[in-house]
Structures are given as structure tokens and as C-alpha cells.
Amino acid sequence: MTQSTLFDFPALKKCNDRLLLANLQGSTVSLAISELSKQKNSPLILIVNDTPSALKLKQELHFFLEDSIEIIDFPDWETLPYDHFSPHQDIISTRIETLYRLPGLKKGILIVPINTLLLRIAPPSYLKKHTLIVKTGEQVELQDLRADLESSGYYAVEKVLEHGEFCARGSLLDIFPMGALKPYRIDFFDDEIDSIRTFDRETQRSLDIIKEIKLLPAHEFCTDHEAIKRFKEKFTEQFTSPLTQEKGSIFSTISDTNLPAGIEYYLPLFFESTATLFDYFPKESTLLISGDINQATLDFWVGLEKRYIDRSVDLHRPLLEPNALYLRHEQCFELLNAWPRYYLQNTPCQVKAGRTNFYVSLLPDVQVNTKLKDPLSAIRQFISDFDGRIVFSVESVGRQQSLLELLAPLKIKIASCDNFSAFIKSKKQIAIIISCIENSFILAHKKIAFITENELLGFKITQRRGNTDHHDENYSSEHILRNLEELKIGQPVVHIDYGIGRYLGLQNIESAGAITEFVALEYLRGDKLYVPVSALQLISRYSGHDVENIKLSKLGTETWQKSKQKAAERVRDVAAELLDIYAQRAAKIGFKYTLNKNNYALFKQAFPFEETPDQSNAINAVLNDMCSRQPMDRLICGDVGFGKTEVAMRATFLAVDNTRQVAILVPTTLLAQQHYENFKDRFASWPVRVEVLSRFKSAKEQKQILLELQEGKIDILIGTHKLLSSTVVYADLGLLIIDEEHRFGVRQKEKIKALRAQIDILTLTATPIPRTLNMSMNGMRDLSIIATPPSKRLAVKTFVEQKTDALISDAITREIMRGGQVYFLHNNVETINKAAADIEALVPSAKVSVAHGQMNEHQLERIMSDFYHQRQNVLVCTTIIETGIDIPSANTIIINRADHLGLAQLHQLRGRVGRSHHQAYAYLLTPTRKLMSKDAKKRLDAISSLNTLGAGFTLATHDLEIRGAGELLGDEQSGQISSIGYNLYMEMLDQAVNALQNGQETTLEQLLSSQADVELRIPALIPSDYIMDVNTRLSLYKRIANSKDKHQLKELQIELIDRFGLLPAITKNLIHITQMKQLCNKLGIKRLDAHAKGGNIIFTQNTKVDPMFLVSLLQTQANTFKLEGPTKLKFTHQLEDTQQRINWITQLLHRFVEHLLK
């Protein structure tokens, strides 16, 4: 028997022939489609009721086909008709790529929801006309290609990050074409394409060389000058009221460089005539219709016409009639009836010509019934009576182990199979496979029963993730806080020598006969300070209390120096305290784990995603900690959903593989349950027992767990603060993992503190703590930051809106229509049921449930399980969901009275959505702004402005940074930090700690001193025609100035050449001057000044240059060198040529390096 004979399909004989394939019970609709696709050598177009049906069928088809046949996406826009915002560029990118490929498709399955099929779209001629193929070696003028891109709707930007963007710099053109997986960098040599390389979006560094690329248009409509002209002409014909063309209207704002949000719902105005998806279907296509698309079309039109009436009130934004945007019911079915098609039906039909019933039946009731003496009696009877082969299906490895344990009393041999195809080809009588299939079925003619765990246990066990592949991009978290790339004019900065001023921008100024770029700073009373860009290491962003109203320093006074000196004095004391703690930790001897590389490799292999660079670094740090004698105390800080749990999994594996017990402490019962399921699944293939201790367990169950824990029968115990109770006794506890430590009370923290001396501790947190804290935490806790977002993760769109019924209805409907789920946060238990009733009245199609912390534990567990497994699609809840709940299909959160919540809390709640590749939305509902406090307005403005991935770290600069430092260093330090700024304080503290660790005493002079100053009187800058964007330039100036050694500087040079082209001569000068500064800092040189006829060098009191070598210079080259005072060396030499000056000074400094004090 082979899988290809599972179904025999009647042939479609005419081009418009139709056949009904009925009695496809359970999940055999997707099985039948997969069989048909294998038997036909032409494309299949699968038309379904709605997006949820499309997603389910796609998932099941992937399982049955095992990727042998391509399944093609044509995603819905994921907006409601007449929405005022546009689909995400990644969605448009996938749609355009599909439209381009579809007409030439030879084999494959396209899945289309009916509402997507109804939409009128661009004619095929549009894509043909506006698609370019660009090849290496081709003769192309860069300016011509740029003009073509602009006419195709690509946006010129300073840094290419998203689909539809390009950036031209010198001979380089960066572009992210629609439909491409990575952006490309095209390098021109005159008018010839010299090379094409992919590059990394985050680092902007080049990756792989390729031969050619396809440049599809950036929009689903033309945006060149002619198209905009056509739009305006047709708009004027369509809408005659003068109000439609007033200032602020969509008519007045549109241009070839400005497309208003939601312009997609005016698409027909860009074309003489539109097309439909039918016009793109390959000629040999066969249509498959699953579900009642007739009723679905009628329902869609009812909703569409209602939205048209409701929204036809804004004369600045008049709406096209529904007929112009969508096919009507009869138009759609007229086009559909012209194609050969199969109708797929679950139920049996009356057999006659054109109708076929397949030999499929539903499974009888085999559900496990715990109320019976023999809970397995139904499945036992079925196996005894069934004259055929049986395959059990579960959704994960963890569930496979659980099901085998459940069925063990049946005493049947259950083999393991990789997939359904392998089972069909095998001769195994009873087998178990891992699949996403939800509904059981029996193939009567083949005597095969497919039994899902859902059917056995009466509910769906787990939810499969969406696409959550991880980035391979190295998103740098190093400069999250100190990087000046996001610095805006007017923001406060700190100059190490002059204090707190406001940034005014970059200015070119002639200094010492050379043009140099300066950073302009404003101080008290409007005084100005100009800082050369080569000295940007002296400047950092100010972070502290009340940034808006910070008092600026006054130039020419001692106030700043006194503040700095006071902080420096305290820094030395703090450094000594830290060193003492560090010594105490180093003296402690903990358990030294042994890493079994073979076992670890097997466990690591089970992680289904690629580790992100930050995640990999964090894992390695944890393993190194645990394999050392010193007890681990490491903090893993990562934004919500960035992969901290996997780090905990690896640490747990190392502990249990060394026969030590692991306790995982979490703040909420819900999170405990979720961790339990995840850990049980992950450790299913290992002889490891995982248990959870929470109020979801009965008193009897808890007692038994505690007994077995003490006996060493439980390896991993997950629970809330109860784990710290004196009644919980471990046989051999080796590792404590704490999730969100700041959520625990003082008493729990004291107990944790007491444990630190004895065992390894790993703490996970999403509370933003900047990497710079690591400097001061060397002696207290080690820190790893995970700042790399998973790939295809989109930033959550955040809206702060006044609460209206229409807004709530739209937000919920939009999410449900695309098959997603919604959190509605209403943080008031007394009125929460009324809020749920209001939602049911507003959106009758919503399946609403309520969850809050005052519920009976079993009721709460059932409700959360129902929502987790998508039996409900709207959860009205309190802040009980704040921590750790991970439901990838929940991609909209509506927060009622958001003005009552804190900034960190809002950030955590927003992090509950956006955990898959779909665009997620957060609606923060408030009363009118008049009724909100000033602080509430600030919080809401901050959270809505922080809409990028990893924004949690930027939150630190708002209101968490000082709190974080206060918690770690003590409240006394918070005042010192505010007086001189967070970054400067941390730099000084790090300097003091490092000195003490090396056995040196830091002087106040060393703590207060700035770095070497080098002045060569030559132009040294990054010209604006090399890098146009001011903030990018500023950021790179800062990175160059902050580079620690020649290797970092070399890497920066490579990056500059890769991203922007060959270095201009004046930028090379900047690099040379920075190299000299590095040498001067190493040598103990305070200032180096050179000009056409010589110059001078001023040494510090503690210079490392051997004085005997200086004496020999003065004696052997008296005409060149002369000592002026105890620390000033003057030199006389002809240095008129720039390169000669650079070479001579560099050689001199290297001679100093060769003669350092031993």
C-alpha cells in the first residue's frame, strides 16, 4: 500500500466542470487536498471561508505534504475596509511576490480566504512594467536606477531596514526589494554593476555575494508622477464636493513622495481599470472550494456596507463605494464558475452524477473517562473491535511521553513514526506520531484509524507557535543607552569637563587653519561650547531624574567640578564595597558542574530555532559560571519574548544532568503552569521528572509532591513563593531560577539572599537595566543582556485613544477576522463582568471569557486553558496576564483606563502581544486628556513613542534607570547619579573598580581626568556628502572616539567602507588622530599639538614613558627636541605635508611605546 492510493479522484473533464467530493470527515479535507496535489501536475487554488480556516488548513497541509509541494501565501491586508492605516510592508511584500510568481506557477497550492479573493487589485500589466532584473556586470547608470526605484514607490532613506526602502551613497546603493528575505548592497564601478551582496539589517554589514536580483514595485499600485496625476483626476470626477480637496484632505496631502495611511482603499483611482486575483491564476489551475463560501461572501458584504455607511462622514476623506473596491457576490461566482473546480464537503451527500462520497467515517467516542472504574474502557474496546491499523497523534514530544504513560495499562505495543507517510508505508499495527491534526478520522477502505489526543482527552492540549524563527542578525546592545544615534536637538548631554548642557547639532568650523566638524552645546544663560567630533568620547547622553527640567551647568565656574569631585569621592568608597563583595563571592566554593558534551548536544538539538547572538552569549556565560567553583549569581535581562526561557532550560539541563535538583520560582500561578508545560515538553525525552507546586494542585497532590521532592524523585520543581517555604525540603538543590525577581516581596527576597551563598542562582527579568550597569555589578551579580529580537517579529503598533464603542468593535473584529485573539484588560474585578457583557453586545461573533485573580483556581485554570487553546478569542482580564503568558495567536491588547497604570507595567502588558510574525496592536484607552494627570500623559506619550523592538531598554532612559541603579547600589547613590548623570557616574565607578582589582589606588585626579587631546591642525571629519544623515554621523563619531584599541578601529573602518564606500581623505585623518589618542592614553600623554613647523607634547604626572629615553632624545636630537617645564616636550620639524605630519607623529609615539617603564 502506498500513500498515493489513499483517495481516487474523479476527473474534471471540461474547463468549467464542477464535482462534489463529500463525506470528508474529521481532518480528511486537508488529507484529500494533499493527495490531489500529488496526483495532479498543475496548480491548485484552495478557496476557504475565512483566514482562520486558511491558517488551519495550511498547517495541516504542511504536515501531510511534508514540504514536498509548495504552499503559497497571499495574505490578507489584516486591516478592515476603509481603515485609516496601511498594511505592514512585510505583508505587502509577500502579496506582491505572490502576484509576480502566480501566473507562471507550474505546481503548488495557493490558499485564499474568500474576502481576499473579492478585493480588486492591480492588473498583471502593472507588475510586468514595473519589475526590474538587475545583474552583476550590467551597464546601468546609478542615477537612472535610482529614478526607476522612486517611480516604483521605493523610499529613499538614510539606513535601509524595511522592505521598499533604498539608500544611495557614492558608488553604493542599498535596497530592500519587495519579496526578498534580506536587503542587498549594489556596488557600482562607473556605470557598471561591480557586485551585489546581501547585508545584515541590524549591523549593516555585507554578507553573501549574489549574481542578480529582482526589483518588484514597492506598492500594489503605481506611485509615479503620472499615476498621482491620474489619481487626482479620477478623485475629482468621483468626489465633487469642494471640502474633499481642502487642506488636510487626502486629495491635498497625496504626492509621489507622500502616501497617506490607508491609501490602499483608493487603489482603483491609480489605474484605468482594476483586476482580480482570478486574472493571476495559472491557466492550468484547478479550484478547490472548502466551506460555505456563498454565505461567507454574503456575510462579508453585509459588514462591508455597514462600515461604508458608518465611515462616510469625513468629507476630507470621502470613501469609494464598496463596488469599486470589491467584487459583488454574483460577480465573484460568475468568475469562479469559469474554472474547473472541486467542492469539498465534510458531510455525506446523495450520490449522483458529479457527486462522490469518500469512504471516511468519524471515530466513535473513545474519550478517557476518569469517573469510570476503567477510564480507558472506550479506547480499549475500540482497539479490540477495530480490524485495521491505528495511529495516535499528539502535538509535541512531551505530550507523546504523557500519552504513552496514559495508555500503558492497555499493554499494547505502540511504535514511533516520523510522520503519516512513514506510517502508511510501514507495516506497523499501532503507532504514534507528532502532528498538528486536531480531528480524528477513519479511512474505512484502507482500514486506518487516525486518533488525535484531542479526541482521547476531550480538549486540545497545546497550541503550536506561529513563525517565530530567530534572527541571525547581531543586534548590538552595547550602545543602547550611550549611542548618540537617537539624540535630538535640545536633549541634555554631559561633557566630562564642563558638565550638563543641551545638544544644538553639528557645525563645520575652521579651527587652527583646518575645517573640522564640532558638536554645539548650550549651557546656562545661552553660553555655547563647541566640541570637536574627535573628542566625542567626552560626551554622553544625560540620564537622570526630570530630564526636561534639568538645571544646566554654568561655564566658567567651579560648580560642575565640585559636583564631579563629590561623586568621585563617593565612587571610591562604593568601589571598595563592591570589591569586598566580589572577594566574598570569590571565596565561596560552590558545586562545579561537568558538561557532558554528547548529552548537551542532544538537548540543544531539540531547540527548534536558531539561537540569536545575544542568546548564545548568555547561554555560554551561564554554562561557564556553572562549570566553575564559584557559585553563579547571574541576571539575564531581555525584553519580553526575546528568548530568556531557553537560557533557563539549558542551565536546568546542566543541573539535572549532574543529578542536582532545580527550583524555578515565578510570580504567578498562570506563569507556573505555562513553565510547567514548556519544561515537561522539553525534557520529555530525558529521564527527568518535572512537577509544579501551585494552587491549581489539590492539598493531597501538593503533599505528595513535597514528599517525593524530599526523596529526590522530582528533578525540576516549578512554583510561586511557596517554593521558599520552610515546609519545602529538597534532596539536593543545585540551581534556583527566579523569573522577575522584582515582583517578589521583601520577605521572599531575604530568603533568596540567604540561598545565594549555597547554590547557583539565575535570575530572568524583562525590567530594562542598561548594559552599562554591568560595569558596577562586576562584584555583585553578573549580567547578560538579550537584545536581539526574533526574526519576522514586528514592533507592536501602539495607539493612545479616547475610549469609544466603535474603536473597541473595530479592534476586536480586525483581530478575529484574521484568526487571532484579543486581551481586553479591565483592571476592576467589581465591574469586569459588565465589561465582558458590553463586548459581547458590541461584537456578537466574539467568544468572550473572563479571568481575574479572585477566581477559584480550577475555574481560572479552565478559562486560561480554553483561551490558550483558542476555544475563546477574547479574554477580558485584570493585570493577572502581566507576567510571562505566551500566546502567539493573541495579537491585540486593549487596555482600559491605561492612564492608571505605570510605564513598566504598560510595557509588560504590551509585551503579551506581538509574539509571532503578525502585526500586533496595543490600544491604550483613556478618558479625555483634561481628566488625566500630567504624569499619566507623560507615561502614555513615552510608551506610544517607544514602538521599536527591544524598546524596553530605551524605557530605562525614562523612569526605570535611576530606580535600577538605586536598587543595585543603594538609595544613597541615586542623588550622586542625578547630579552628574548616570553614564559618567558608571564610567567613574567602573574605573575605580578596575583599578582596585588590579591592586592600584585610584586618585581623584584619575577619576576626574578626561582622555588625551590631539590637535594636528588638519581637516578630520566625516563629510556630509559621504554620510548625509546627521544622527548616523554623530553615532559613528561617538563610536570612533570610544574605540578602545586599533582592532576596534580597524573593524570600524571596514564597516564604514562596506556601508558607505571608500573613506574620504579627511575621514582617514580622523582615524589616524583617533589611533594617536589611543597611543597617548596608553603612554600617559595629556595633550599632543602639531603644526607645519613642529609642536609639543604634554605628559601627565604619571606618564609611563621611560624618562631616560626622553633624556637620550634631548641629548642626541637637541635640534629637534627641547624640554619646556617638567611635563612639556617641544619638537621642531618641517611637517607641512599632512601625510608626513601623520607619519612622523605616529612613528614618534611608537618609539615611546617601545620605551615604557617596566
Q: Which among 250-254, 259-263, 536-540, 577-581 has the top mean pLDDT?
A: 259-263
Which of 397, 432, 457 finishes a domain?
A: 457
State the total domains in the chain.
6
**Domain of residue 1132, CATH code:** 3.90.1150.50
Residue 501 in this model has a pLDDT that exceeds 80: yes
* Domain contains 715: yes
Q: Which three cell numbers stand for residue 169?
A: 551613497
Distance CA 1138, CA 1129 (A): 21
How many CA atoms within 13 Å lie on the side-chain side of 867? 28
* Domain contains 610: yes
Flag the least confident range among 70-84, 641-655, 761-775, 901-915. Answer: 761-775
| Sign of the four-CA dihedral 269, 270, 273, 276 | negative
Residues 852 and 748 in one domain: no
Bridge-based pairing of strands 539-541 and 733-739 is unpaired
| Sign of the four-CA dihedral 1143, 1148, 1149, 1150 | positive
Residues 1083 and 1102 in one domain: yes
The conformation of residue 959, written as its DSSP 8-state character, comes to I
Q: Considering only CA atoms, which of 354, 342, 335 is closest in space to residue 287?
A: 342
Q: How far is CA 830 from the centre of its chain?
A: 36
Residue 549 in this model has a pLDDT that exceeds 50: yes
Distance CA 900, CA 935 (A): 10
**Domain of residue 387, CATH code:** 3.40.50.11140
User: What was the pLDDT predicted at 640?
Assistant: 67
User: What was the pLDDT predicted at 752?
Assistant: 64
Residues 778 and 845 in one domain: no
Distance CA 203, CA 148 (A): 27
Average pLDDT over residues 744-768: 68
**Domain of residue 807, CATH code:** 3.40.50.300
Residues 781 and 661 in one domain: yes
User: What was the pLDDT predicted at 482?
Assistant: 42
How confident is the model over 397-431, as pLDDT tens digits?
A: 767 877 887 888 899 999 999 889 999 999 899 99
* Domain contains 1146: yes
Residue 49 in this model has a pLDDT that exceeds 80: yes
Higher local confidence (pLDDT), 294 or 245 = 294
Residues 1145 and 1048 in one domain: yes
Name residue, grid cell 525590567: 767
* Domain contains 920: yes
Residue 468 in this model has a pLDDT that exceeds 60: no
User: What was the pLDDT predicted at 749?
Assistant: 57
**Percent of the chain at pLDDT above 90?**
38
How confident is the model over 791-809, as pLDDT tens digits?
A: 556 678 888 888 999 889 9
Residues 775 and 841 in one domain: no
Flag the least confident range among 7-11, 771-775, 808-812. Answer: 771-775
Name residue, grid cell 458590541: 842
**Domain of residue 54, CATH code:** 3.40.50.11180
Residues 72 and 112 in one domain: yes
* Domain contains 709: yes
Residue 652 in this model has a pLDDT that exceeds 90: yes
User: What was the pLDDT predicted at 341?
Assistant: 94
Q: How far is CA 245 from the centre of its chain?
A: 40
Mean pLDDT score of the chain: 83
User: What was the pLDDT predicted at 775?
Assistant: 39
User: What was the pLDDT predicted at 1010?
Assistant: 60
Residue ranges making up the domain that contains 1128? 1040-1154
How confident is the model over 213-230, as pLDDT tens digits?
A: 999 999 999 988 889 999
Q: Which among 366-375, 648-657, 750-759 has the top mean pLDDT?
A: 648-657
* Domain contains 773: yes
Residues 731 and 824 in one domain: no
Distance CA 654, CA 603 (A): 10
Average pLDDT over residues 347-373: 86
Average pLDDT over residues 267-293: 95
Average pLDDT over residues 612-624: 89
> In terms of C-beta density within 10 A (0-12 exposed, 13-18 middle, 19 or more buried), how is residue 820 classed?
buried
Which H, E and C letters describe 651-719, residue by residue? HHHHHHHCCCEEEEECCCHHHHHHHHHHHHHHCCCCCCCEEEECCCCCHHHHHHHHHHHHCCCCCEEEE
Distance CA 773, CA 178 (A): 40
How confident is the model over 322-347, as pLDDT tens digits?
A: 999 999 999 999 999 999 999 999 98
Which of 948, 968, 1001 finishes a domain?
A: 948
Which H, E and C letters describe 884-942, residue by residue? CCCCCCEEEEEECCHHHCCHHHHHHHHCCCCCCCCCCEEEEEECCHHHCCHHHHHHHHH
Residues 735 and 869 in one domain: no
* Domain contains 1074: yes
**Phi first, then psi: what are they for 201, rounded to 5°?**
-60, -40
Q: Is 363 helix (H, G, I), strand (E, B) or coil?
A: coil
* Domain contains 1017: no
How confident is the model over 1122-1155, as pLDDT tens digits?
A: 988 888 999 999 998 999 999 999 999 999 999 8
Distance CA 501, CA 483 (A): 17
How confident is the model over 1056-1067, as pLDDT tens digits?
A: 888 888 899 989
Residue 120 in this model has a pLDDT that exceeds 70: yes
**Phi first, then psi: what are they for 708, rounded to 5°?**
-70, -30
Cα dist from 350 to 20, 216, 343, 995, whole Å: 10, 49, 14, 89
Dihedral class, residue 469 (left if φ above 0, else alpha if ψ from -120 to 50, else beta)? beta
Residue 438 in this model has a pLDDT that exceeds 60: yes
Residues 47 and 140 in one domain: no
Residues 749 and 861 in one domain: no
Distance CA 620, CA 780 (A): 19
Residue 821 in this model has a pLDDT that exceeds 50: yes
Which of 433, 457, 481 finishes a domain?
A: 457
Residues 345 and 399 in one domain: no
Distance CA 845, CA 862 (A): 21
DSSP 769-827: --TTHHHHTTTT-EEEEE-PPBTTPPPPEEEEEE--HHHHHHHHHHHHHTT-EEEEE--
Q: Considering only CA atoms, which of 764, 709, 707 is closest in space to residue 733?
A: 709
List the beta bridge partners of residue 762: 634, 737
**Domain of residue 169, CATH code:** 3.30.2060.10
User: What was the pLDDT predicted at 962?
Assistant: 37
Q: Considering only CA atoms, which of 496, 1048, 1037, 987 is closest in space to residue 770?
A: 987
- Residue 354 has a CB neighbour count (10 Å cut-off) of 12
Q: Is 268 helix (H, G, I), strand (E, B) or coil?
A: helix
Residue 461 in this model has a pLDDT that exceeds 60: no
Average pLDDT over residues 89-101: 93
